[in-house]
Amino acid sequence: MPWRNGTGPPWIHGKFQGCGYRLTMPRQVIMDVLSQTSEHLSAEDIYLAVHKIYPAIGLTTVYRTLEILVQMGLVFKFDFGDGRARYELSEGPKSIGHHHHLVCSGCGRIIDYTDFIDDEVELLKKTEKGLSKKYNFKITNHLIQFYGLCDKCQ
Protein backbone atom coordinates (compact mmCIF):
# COMPACT_ATOMS: atom_id res chain seq x y z
CA MET A 1 0.00 0.00 0.00
CA PRO A 2 1.42 3.39 -0.98
CA TRP A 3 -0.27 5.27 1.86
CA ARG A 4 0.28 5.30 5.61
CA ASN A 5 -2.08 3.63 8.03
CA GLY A 6 -5.08 5.84 8.49
CA THR A 7 -4.31 7.94 5.47
CA GLY A 8 -6.24 5.93 2.92
CA PRO A 9 -6.07 5.98 -0.82
CA PRO A 10 -6.51 9.37 -2.47
CA TRP A 11 -9.70 8.51 -4.34
CA ILE A 12 -11.45 7.87 -1.05
CA HIS A 13 -10.82 11.45 -0.05
CA GLY A 14 -12.39 12.72 -3.23
CA LYS A 15 -15.34 10.42 -2.86
CA PHE A 16 -16.04 11.73 0.62
CA GLN A 17 -15.72 15.35 -0.41
CA GLY A 18 -17.85 14.73 -3.44
CA CYS A 19 -20.64 13.55 -1.15
CA GLY A 20 -20.22 16.55 1.16
CA TYR A 21 -18.49 14.62 3.91
CA ARG A 22 -15.14 15.14 5.60
CA LEU A 23 -12.62 12.34 5.61
CA THR A 24 -11.74 12.42 9.29
CA MET A 25 -9.39 10.14 11.17
CA PRO A 26 -12.12 7.86 12.59
CA ARG A 27 -13.57 7.43 9.10
CA GLN A 28 -10.18 6.70 7.59
CA VAL A 29 -9.38 4.09 10.21
CA ILE A 30 -12.78 2.43 9.74
CA MET A 31 -12.11 2.27 6.02
CA ASP A 32 -8.65 0.80 6.73
CA VAL A 33 -10.09 -1.91 8.95
CA LEU A 34 -12.66 -2.81 6.33
CA SER A 35 -9.98 -2.81 3.63
CA GLN A 36 -7.73 -5.18 5.51
CA THR A 37 -10.17 -7.97 6.15
CA SER A 38 -12.17 -10.40 4.07
CA GLU A 39 -14.45 -11.27 6.98
CA HIS A 40 -18.01 -10.24 7.63
CA LEU A 41 -17.58 -7.80 10.49
CA SER A 42 -20.31 -6.54 12.78
CA ALA A 43 -20.34 -2.95 14.01
CA GLU A 44 -18.85 -4.12 17.29
CA ASP A 45 -16.14 -6.12 15.50
CA ILE A 46 -15.22 -2.98 13.63
CA TYR A 47 -15.34 -0.92 16.79
CA LEU A 48 -12.92 -3.30 18.53
CA ALA A 49 -10.54 -3.41 15.58
CA VAL A 50 -10.54 0.36 15.18
CA HIS A 51 -10.09 0.79 18.92
CA LYS A 52 -6.66 -0.87 18.73
CA ILE A 53 -5.47 1.74 16.25
CA TYR A 54 -7.52 4.69 17.41
CA PRO A 55 -8.57 4.17 21.05
CA ALA A 56 -10.63 7.35 21.23
CA ILE A 57 -13.23 5.91 18.85
CA GLY A 58 -16.82 5.64 20.04
CA LEU A 59 -19.27 2.95 19.02
CA THR A 60 -21.70 5.65 17.94
CA THR A 61 -19.21 6.96 15.43
CA VAL A 62 -18.75 3.50 14.00
CA TYR A 63 -22.49 3.17 13.43
CA ARG A 64 -22.74 6.64 11.97
CA THR A 65 -19.79 6.12 9.66
CA LEU A 66 -21.05 2.76 8.46
CA GLU A 67 -24.40 4.31 7.63
CA ILE A 68 -22.64 6.93 5.54
CA LEU A 69 -20.45 4.36 3.82
CA VAL A 70 -23.47 2.23 2.96
CA GLN A 71 -25.29 5.26 1.67
CA MET A 72 -22.28 6.22 -0.45
CA GLY A 73 -22.16 2.71 -1.87
CA LEU A 74 -18.68 1.97 -0.53
CA VAL A 75 -19.95 -0.66 1.89
CA PHE A 76 -22.60 -3.36 1.76
CA LYS A 77 -24.72 -4.11 4.79
CA PHE A 78 -25.89 -7.68 5.28
CA ASP A 79 -28.29 -9.46 7.57
CA PHE A 80 -27.46 -13.09 8.11
CA GLY A 81 -30.19 -13.59 10.66
CA ASP A 82 -28.17 -13.51 13.87
CA GLY A 83 -29.53 -10.21 15.07
CA ARG A 84 -26.61 -8.03 14.13
CA ALA A 85 -25.75 -6.42 10.81
CA ARG A 86 -22.53 -7.28 8.97
CA TYR A 87 -20.53 -4.95 6.80
CA GLU A 88 -18.28 -5.54 3.80
CA LEU A 89 -16.35 -3.20 1.58
CA SER A 90 -17.92 -3.26 -1.85
CA GLU A 91 -14.54 -2.84 -3.51
CA GLY A 92 -10.96 -2.72 -2.33
CA PRO A 93 -7.61 -4.54 -1.99
CA LYS A 94 -8.83 -7.64 -0.18
CA SER A 95 -12.25 -7.63 -1.75
CA ILE A 96 -13.01 -10.81 -3.60
CA GLY A 97 -15.15 -8.83 -6.00
CA HIS A 98 -18.80 -9.43 -6.70
CA HIS A 99 -19.91 -12.39 -4.63
CA HIS A 100 -22.75 -13.81 -2.61
CA HIS A 101 -23.14 -15.83 0.56
CA LEU A 102 -24.05 -19.27 1.74
CA VAL A 103 -25.51 -19.00 5.24
CA CYS A 104 -25.44 -22.12 7.40
CA SER A 105 -28.63 -22.39 9.42
CA GLY A 106 -26.84 -24.71 11.83
CA CYS A 107 -23.76 -22.83 13.01
CA GLY A 108 -24.18 -19.49 11.28
CA ARG A 109 -21.05 -19.90 9.21
CA ILE A 110 -20.87 -17.72 6.13
CA ILE A 111 -19.23 -18.94 2.94
CA ASP A 112 -18.49 -16.51 0.13
CA TYR A 113 -18.95 -17.79 -3.36
CA THR A 114 -18.20 -16.32 -6.73
CA ASP A 115 -19.33 -19.19 -8.93
CA PHE A 116 -21.81 -18.84 -11.76
CA ILE A 117 -21.38 -15.09 -11.71
CA ASP A 118 -21.47 -14.98 -15.50
CA ASP A 119 -24.79 -16.78 -15.72
CA GLU A 120 -26.03 -14.76 -12.79
CA VAL A 121 -25.07 -11.46 -14.36
CA GLU A 122 -26.86 -12.45 -17.53
CA LEU A 123 -30.07 -13.27 -15.67
CA LEU A 124 -29.81 -10.16 -13.54
CA LYS A 125 -29.33 -7.91 -16.55
CA LYS A 126 -32.40 -9.37 -18.15
CA THR A 127 -34.38 -9.21 -14.92
CA GLU A 128 -33.31 -5.70 -14.06
CA LYS A 129 -34.20 -4.45 -17.50
CA GLY A 130 -37.59 -6.14 -17.38
CA LEU A 131 -38.44 -4.99 -13.88
CA SER A 132 -37.25 -1.44 -14.45
CA LYS A 133 -39.59 -1.23 -17.40
CA LYS A 134 -42.57 -3.02 -15.86
CA TYR A 135 -42.59 -1.26 -12.50
CA ASN A 136 -40.56 1.82 -13.40
CA PHE A 137 -38.30 0.78 -10.56
CA LYS A 138 -34.70 1.97 -10.75
CA ILE A 139 -32.59 -0.89 -9.48
CA THR A 140 -29.33 0.03 -7.80
CA ASN A 141 -28.37 -3.18 -6.08
CA HIS A 142 -29.31 -6.76 -5.50
CA LEU A 143 -28.91 -9.47 -2.91
CA ILE A 144 -28.68 -13.22 -3.35
CA GLN A 145 -28.27 -15.58 -0.44
CA PHE A 146 -28.48 -19.32 -0.06
CA TYR A 147 -29.51 -20.93 3.20
CA GLY A 148 -28.81 -24.47 4.27
CA LEU A 149 -26.39 -26.65 6.20
CA CYS A 150 -22.62 -26.61 5.86
CA ASP A 151 -20.57 -29.81 5.79
CA LYS A 152 -20.04 -29.81 9.56
CA CYS A 153 -23.72 -29.35 10.36
CA GLN A 154 -25.37 -32.05 8.25
Interface residues with DNA (CB under 7 A) are 21-27, 42-44, 54, 56-61, 63-65, 67, 83-85
Q: Which long-range contacts link 53-59 to residues 24+ away (Cβ below 8 Å)?
A: 53/5, 53/6, 53/29, 54/6, 54/25, 54/26, 54/29, 57/26, 57/29
Residue 56 or 143 with smaller CB distance to its own copies: 143
Burial bucket for residue 51 (CB in 10 Å: 0-12, 13-18, 19+)? middle
Task: State the binding partner of 138 from DNA, its own copies, none, CB within 5 to 8 A by kind.
Answer: its own copies
Distance CA 87, CA 64 (A): 13
Position among 1, 19, 96, 139 found at the interface with its own copies (CB under 8 A):
139
Only segment of 14-22, 50-58, 88-96, 98-106 that touches its own copies (CB under 8 A): 98-106
Interface of this chain with its own copies, residues 42 to 81, rule: CB under 8 A: 77, 79, 81
Distance CA 19, CA 30 (A): 17
Task: State the binding partner of 42 from its own copies, DNA, none, CB within 5 to 8 A by kind.
Answer: DNA
Half-sphere exposure of 64 (CA within 13 A, CB side): 9
Site residues (CB under 8 A) for its own copies?
Answer: 77, 79, 81, 102, 104-105, 111, 113, 115-116, 119-120, 123, 126-128, 130-131, 134-151, 154
